[in-house]
Chains A and B, each alone.
Chain A
């Protein structure tokens, strides 16, 4: 009787709490609605989409070459891996074979980005749980990697370094020296982090037995990457479907046993050591050779080959040969300065006073009626006609070929073969998949991304329910999400 009375008086209700979107521990703008009973989580509902920029849709309106910088902005913590994922997918679509050296360089930078991602993950995860020192130490090493990125491509975060068909530019010698020094020192730095937290009793209490998920369940939730490997599933795309130079290096895939937050932490720590190992092997094996695939259809033509026309001292003039001109009007429509005039089916004419010497008309002409006259700028019409009468010098004709390729590549974009494909790569967060549907034009008909962060954010309710409120922070940290990738 008394007990019933007491229950009536001290009646408890579930409390509905909003966590985020502006919460420092949600690693971005993730909003979680928590139903809590006292301190215990009853239900978690994640709301995503605050950082949605429509990258998939934007990809449909950009050519395969242009869409590359979009992938930087997905997982901005490991932009290099995203770039590589995109390039590998597009290369498979086009059937381009990448040179050996480019493959090794990509593997090096990919693993560097894995280390820098895991360092940032460890830093923020530890900070969320309460270990401040690890945060500062991790950033010290991360800075080194970002400086190395700056050395090779001029940017620290949004790198846009790999290109479809290779990489943007070759690596300098200082880069290799500095990176080797980094790999020499880095294992001792990992030991430092482990001294700070690995056996720390607070760390153990906050991570052991928190967010446990079994191997079967983790697979059926669609987890990938270290989040899955913590549960003991040795699934790694680098091992099972090797891309780049991963089939030429030795490495192990570390796995956990219990599938809790601590095991996932151990997995990532071991993975950093493996990455370090891979980089060392790749530096040792780095072969000399080209860094871009020689594929006229897909890669930009070399700039020095066009110098005969484009060099500022070669003051060229463009002239339409009256005999060859069919009067189709392509040049007239293409000319940005509106310097070309003429009636249909009659020879067109360039007004030299308006001409910018930009070569757009030359690239547009299908009937080869255009002539390039080096040193012809400022000459009179009669003189130009006289000079244009003979065939173009051979070196000018060769340079013009490359110039036309440059214009066509940029204006229209390389044409992809028809079909669809899905290509997955192992980014630090998990499996990043690109799915392209191509209708044979220069732009993808549909570009779909399988972002690991999105799928892992969906697992949050499974990991949190039954634990305390403070453990939600640990759960968000352990699945390693970046909302830029999650919302796309």
Chain B
């Protein structure tokens, strides 16, 4: 055992180093947030609760082709049609895995995933999304221009993804 090791062993130097670090942390600001009172910032394009998009006239964009139900890996979308319209459009939220494939599969831009993630309930029926609820989600969480912006940014792939659009993100060096 060298002198250095002996000094280390009897002075508890590494313990005090660690302790001083935790002591310094004690006086810095907290990184945690107090959830129901404070909420964290949700990035746009968050994959949360579903909504059926409406067009400018306020009608549902969905035509009922059933591509979303076909691509869904967990088979949670159920559609049925009546005379010339979509009769039933239901999403079994408890089955959904939020992969966002339904958004990608839809050629009509009729379904979106909104930023809402707080919709737990005591009853199973309340989490089984019917068409009216999905349509009202659109007004609630995608008001005004927000829906349009969503489709511009997150309804992929677009032609831009196969080419080189202007203003593509590249590293321009550290900001001074």
Contacts and interface: CB of A to CB of B under 8 A. Distances in A.
Interface string B139-176: 00000000000000111111111111100111100110
Contact of B163 (A198, A290, A301, A353): A290
B157 A173 contact: no
Contact of A303 (B85, B156, B164): B156
A158 B164 contact: no
Contacts of A172: 169
Contact of A356 (B18, B65, B169, B175): B65
A417 to B, nearest CB: 22
A337 B66 CA distance: 10
A286 B153 CA distance: 21
Contact of B18 (A200, A357, A360, A411): A200
A169 B156 contact: yes
A208 to B, nearest CB: 14
B162 A294 contact: yes
A444 to B, nearest CB: 14
B43 interface: yes
Contacts of A283: 171
Given A154-B113, A286-B171, A299 B81 contact: no
Nearest to A196: B18
A337 B84 contact: yes
Contact of A359 (B65, B99, B105): B65
B159 A305 contact: yes
Given A154-B154, A290-B162, A356-B81, A195 B18 contact: yes
A330 interface: no
A302 B157 contact: yes
Interface stretch (A62-70, A242-250, A270-278): A62-70
Contacts, number: 174
A299 B157 contact: yes
A366 interface: no
A418 interface: no
B17 interface: yes
A171 B164 contact: no
A304 B161 CA distance: 11
Interface in B4-20: 8-9, 14-15, 17-18
Interface stretch (A10-18, A44-52, A175-183, A218-226): A175-183
B133 interface: no
A150 B117 CA distance: 13
Given A288-B168, A290-B164, A292-B161, A356 B84 contact: yes
A54 interface: no
Contact of B85 (A166, A286, A356, A410): A356
A143 B33 CA distance: 12
B158 A304 contact: yes
Contact of B73 (A66, A287, A289, A301): A66
Interface residues of B, number: 63
A195 B42 CA distance: 34
Interface in A79-112: none
Contacts of A73: 97
A169 B154 contact: yes
B94 interface: no
A302 B65 CA distance: 18
A176 B154 contact: no
A155 interface: yes
Interface in A97-154: 133, 140, 143, 147, 150-151, 153-154
Contacts of A310: 107-109
Given A66-B73, A172-B169, A337-B81, A177 B162 contact: no
Could you say which interface size class chain A belongs to?
Answer: 35 or more
Given A290-B161, A336-B66, A284 B15 contact: no
A360 B65 contact: yes
B90 interface: no
A305 B170 CA distance: 26
Contact of A292 (B70, B157, B165, B171): B157
A147 B97 contact: no
A312 interface: yes
B63 A358 contact: yes
A438 B62 CA distance: 35
Contacts of A356: 63-65, 81, 84-86
A380 interface: no
B43 A176 contact: no
A54 to B, nearest CB: 13
B75 to A, nearest CB: 10
Contacts of B157: 169, 292, 299-303
A28 to B, nearest CB: 19
Contacts of A133: 18, 22
Interface string B110-122: 0001000000000
B100 A160 contact: yes
B128 interface: no
Nearest to B68: A410
Interface in B71-108: 71, 73, 79, 81, 83-86, 97-101, 104-105, 107-108
Given A158-B98, A200-B15, 18 more contacts: A69-B101, A133-B18, A154-B43, A169-B154, A171-B169, A199-B14, A201-B9, A289-B168, A290-B163, A292-B157, A300-B104, A304-B159, A312-B56, A336-B81, A358-B66, A359-B107, A360-B65, A410-B67
Closest 10 CB pairs of A and B: A358-B65, A312-B55, A199-B14, A69-B99, A154-B45, A173-B169, A154-B47, A292-B161, A302-B159, A358-B63
Interface of A: 62, 65-70, 72-73, 133, 140, 143, 147, 150-151, 153-155, 158, 160, 166, 168-173, 175-177, 180, 192, 195-201, 283-284, 286-292, 294, 299-306, 310, 312-313, 336-337, 339, 353-360, 403, 406-407, 410-411
23 contacts: A154-B45, A154-B46, A155-B46, A155-B47, A158-B97, A160-B99, A169-B156, A176-B169, A288-B164, A300-B105, A300-B157, A301-B157, A302-B157, A302-B162, A303-B155, A313-B55, A353-B83, A355-B84, A356-B63, A356-B81, A407-B65, A407-B67, A411-B67
